[in-house]
Amino acid sequence: MNPRVEVVALDCLMVRLFDEIAEANMPWMLAAGERLRAVFGDGLIDLVPSYTTLMVHYDLTALSPAQARERIAEALTGLSPSTGSAGRCHVLPVWYDLSVGPELSLLSRRSGLAVQEVIRRHSAREYQVFALGFAPGFAFMGLVEEVLAAPRLDTPRKKVAAGSVGIAERQTAAYPAASPGGWNLIGRTPVRLFDRDRDGYSLMQPGDTVRFEAVSHAEFIRLGGDDTPLEALA
């Protein structure tokens, strides 16, 4: 770990703990987040974690930039990986099918694996939730196996259905709401990922883990899934 502080805005500082994305970063990121919240107290407006950084948005009427840097230094002094709860483990049922996951065939060709093997490998791992972003409740997870990694689409789709599960490079995610998107789609989950009536709104939070579970079409429908083919949404 090589912590650095970078200026983002007049009242925002970026704490960069790592230079590369890795699952082993998360205990350090969680520990740093806890310490930063503690030392800033009411002077903290928001703390935004990502794969390797934490953005500290502080109250400029309560703290000067120099004082904010001092508090960050205090938080990082003697920092050690979090040994507490690593977050919740979520199991997301997924209907993997070409009608809702057209890039299954693309990933099969790229990897040289049969479609069913692509599905098996994607659903065999437990993924770390690194960050939330892009859209409310959109959780960036990883890391998928190298053989399944694929770049984003050259031309993003104008509309991706809510619950769509996709891969971009070595990341995987599920769209919480219908939106444009350029990820490689491989299936769809019926789970509601963002809910205004839920405490915290988002089902998943950084530090949680996720496992995708392949289900049949009948089970997907029973769970409330929408099987409208992707091409019908355009």
- The strands making up 4-9's β-sheet, listed across from edge to edge, are 4-9, 12-16, 53-58, 44-49
- Report residue 233's pLDDT band, with 50, 70 and 90 as the boundaries: confident
Q: 């619950």: which residue's tokens?
A: 163
Q: What is the CB neighbour count within 10 angstroms for residue 119?
A: 22
Residue 166: closest CA among 156, 179, 157, 175: 175
pLDDT band at 228 (very low <50, low <70, confident <90, very high): very high
Model confidence pLDDT, tens digit, residues 146-188: 999 999 999 999 999 999 999 999 999 999 999 999 999 999 9
Q: What pLDDT digit, counting tens, does each position of 4-50 carry?
A: 999 999 999 999 999 988 888 888 998 999 999 999 999 999 998 88
> Which pairs from 31-40 meet CB under 8 Å and 24+ separation?
31/79, 31/80, 31/81, 31/82, 32/75, 32/76, 32/79, 34/82, 35/75, 35/76, 35/79, 36/71, 36/72, 36/75, 38/75, 39/71, 39/72, 39/74, 39/75, 40/68, 40/71, 40/75
- For residue 91, list its beta bridge partners: 211
Query: In this structure, which amino acid lies at residue 209?
Result: T
Domain boundaries, given as residue ranges, for the chain: 4-76, 89-233
Average pLDDT over residues 65-86: 87
Secondary structure of residue 128 in the 3-state scheme: strand
pLDDT confidence of 109, banded at 50, 70, 90?
A: very high
β-strand pairing of 44-49 with 53-58: antiparallel
- Residue 180 buriedness (CB in 10 A; 0-12 / 13-18 / 19+): exposed
- State the pTM of this model: 0.84
Fold of 4-76: Gyrase A; domain 2 (3.30.1360)
Domain covering 89-233 assigned CATH 3.40.190.170 in the classification: no
Checking if the pLDDT of 86 tops 70, the result is: no
